[in-house]
Amino acid sequence: MTVTVSVPLPGRAYDVVIGPGLVDRAGTYVAPLLRRPRVAVLTDENVAALHLERLRAGLSAEGIDMVALTLPAGESTKSWAHLTQSVDWLLDQKVERSDVVVAFGGGVIGDLAGFAAAILRRGVRFVQMPTSLLAQVDSSVGGKTGINATQGKNLIGAFHQPSMVLADIDILGTLHARDFLAGYGEVVKYGLLGDAAFFEWLERNGAALSAGDQATRIEAVRHSVQMKADIVVRDETEQGDRALLNLGHTFCHALEAATGYGNRLLHGEGVAIGCALAFELSARLGLCSQEDPSRVRAHLRSMGMKTDLADIAGDLPDAATLLELMGQDKKVVDGQLRFVLARGIGQAFVTGDVPASTVLDVLTDALALRAQMS
C-alpha cells in the first residue's frame, strides 16, 4: 500500500510517496527526474551500513549508477566542516546543474544534503529519502535546509524544496527505539498544534505504531505529512502560519543548547518536552485548561517518552540561563521572544506577547520538580 501526498507549491510542486519497499523500487521513482542515469547520494554511517547496498540495487534495477558519500552519524555532522566536505565531494564527482543529489538518512543528512544541493552550482535538485520517523514526518518536507552554528541550531541555511520525497515505511524497522520515539515527538506535535482528532487517534493507536504495525505507521506519516504540506503551501517561508510547526521548539532549542546538541537529548525528545512545557505555559497564562498539559504528559509518558526536565540526565543550567538560551532562537523578532501557545489541544497560535516572568516561573518550577525527583 503506497500513498502519495502532494505539496502543490507553484513552480516547485512535488510528491511525498509513503509506503513499504520504496528503497528497493527507488530507481522507478527517481528515473523520470534524471537527465543522465547517475545520482550522488549523501548518507550517514548507520544508514549506509544497513541500507546503502539495497539502495544501490534499487537504483541499478533501472540502470541508474550511484556514487555515495558516507558521513558520521549525529547532529554534529550539521556543521560547516561537513558541509564543505560534502560540497567538495559533489564537485569532485562532477555533479552537474541538471543532476540530482539524494539525501538518504535522517533529518541531519536531509538538512545537510539539502543545503549542499541548494548552494552547489547555485542550486541543483535533490530527492529526500528520509530514513528516520522524524525525517519522514517533518524534516524531509517543506524545504528547510541548513546546518548549526556555534551560536545556535539551524542558524545557517536556505529554503530549497526537494523534487520528490520517498518515505519507505519498512526502513523505520531498523531505527533504535529511542530514535523512533524521538520522531514520535514530532508526530504528536501535529495533533497538538492543529488537530485534536489526530491527537485522540494517536492516544488510541500510539502503542500499535510503536510496535511496528505497518498500516498505522503509514497513516501516521501520511497524516503528519499532509498537515505539514498544507501549512507549507500556505506559508512557505514562515511569515505566519508555518511558525505553528515550531510548537515546543523554543523550549527545545534552549534545552538542546544546554545539553550540547548531543546524545543527552535528541531533537525529537526536546520537542516532546518542549510541547509539554508550551502547554504548561499556556495553562499558566489561562489560555487552556489545566487538564491539557496533564493529558499531553500522560500520552507522552504512556509511550515511554521523555516528558519533563527530570527525564534529562546530567546537569542543567538555571532557569534564567535557559531563558537566555531561548533568546538565540531563530524566531526572535526585534529581540522579542515568540512562542507557539495553545488554547487547547489542536488549537495552537503564535504570539510575541508572553511575559518573560511567566516563562521563568514555568522553567523554575520544572527545574524544582527535577531537583525533587533526583
Residues labelled catalytic: 122, 144, 186, 228, 238, 242, 246, 249, 253, 267
- Let me know the angle formed at the C-alpha of 213 by 211 and 218, rounded to the nearest 5 degrees: 125
Cα distance between residue 174 and residue 105, in whole Å: 12
Q: Is 132 in the site for ligand NAD (CB under 6 A)?
A: yes
Least Cα distance to 292 among 303, 277, 305, 304 occurs for 277
Instruction: Identify which of residues 132 and 307 has a Cβ nearer to ligand NAD in the complex.
Output: 132
Residue type at 308? D
Please say whether the beta carbons of 249 and 326 come within 8 A: no
Backbone φ, ψ for residue 59 (5° rounding): -80, -40
**Three-state SS for 121?**
helix
Q: Are strands 339-342 and 144-149 parallel, antiparallel or unpaired?
A: unpaired
Q: Is 50 in the site for ligand NAD (CB under 6 A)?
A: yes
Q: How many residues bind ligand NAD (CB under 6 A)?
A: 31
Closest distance of CB 333 from ligand NAD, Å: 19
Binding characters for ligand NAD, 215-254, by CB under 6 A (x = yes): ----------------------------------------
Q: Is 296 in the site for ligand NAD (CB under 6 A)?
A: no
Of the CA atoms within 13 Å of residue 46, those in its CB half-sphere come to: 15
Closest distance of CB 254 from ligand NAD, Å: 14
Q: Is 274 in the site for ligand NAD (CB under 6 A)?
A: no
Q: Is 111 in the site for ligand NAD (CB under 6 A)?
A: yes
Q: Is 138 in the site for ligand NAD (CB under 6 A)?
A: yes
**Three-state SS for 132?**
coil
Q: Which of residues 181-210 bind ligand NAD (CB under 6 A)?
A: 182
Cα distance between residue 247 and residue 193, in whole Å: 7
Closest distance of CB 334 from ligand NAD, Å: 24
Least Cα distance to 325 among 282, 274, 374, 286 occurs for 274
Please say whether the beta carbons of 126 and 162 come within 8 A: yes
Residues across the chain = 374
Stretch near ligand NAD under the rule CB under 6 A, chosen from 1-9, 169-177, 296-304, 318-326: 169-177
Of 70, 86, 128, 139, the one binding ligand NAD by CB under 6 A: 139
DSSP string, 154-204: EEEEEE---SEEEEEGGGGGGS-HHHHHHHHHHHHHHHHHH-HHHHHHHHH
Chain-centre distance for alpha carbon 354? 25
What is the distance between the terminal CA atoms of the chain, rounded to a whole angstrom?
47
Closest distance of CB 81 from ligand NAD, Å: 15
Closest distance of CB 36 from ligand NAD, Å: 28
Of 70, 86, 131, 307, the one binding ligand NAD by CB under 6 A: 131
Stretch near ligand NAD under the rule CB under 6 A, chosen from 59-67, 107-115, 285-293, 337-345: 107-115
Stretch near ligand NAD under the rule CB under 6 A, chosen from 25-33, 105-113, 320-328, 366-374: 105-113
Q: Is 306 in the site for ligand NAD (CB under 6 A)?
A: no
**Three-state SS for 279?**
helix
Closest distance of CB 290 from ligand NAD, Å: 29
Of 66, 75, 303, 307, the one binding ligand NAD by CB under 6 A: 75
Please say whether the beta carbons of 309 and 366 come within 8 A: yes
Least Cα distance to 302 among 341, 280, 272, 264 occurs for 272
Q: Is 135 in the site for ligand NAD (CB under 6 A)?
A: yes
Q: Is 329 in the site for ligand NAD (CB under 6 A)?
A: no
Closest distance of CB 47 from ligand NAD, Å: 5
Give residues in contact with ligand NAD (CB under 6 A).
Answer: 44, 46-47, 50, 73-75, 78, 105-109, 111, 131-132, 134-135, 138-139, 142, 144, 153-154, 171, 174-175, 179, 182, 267-268
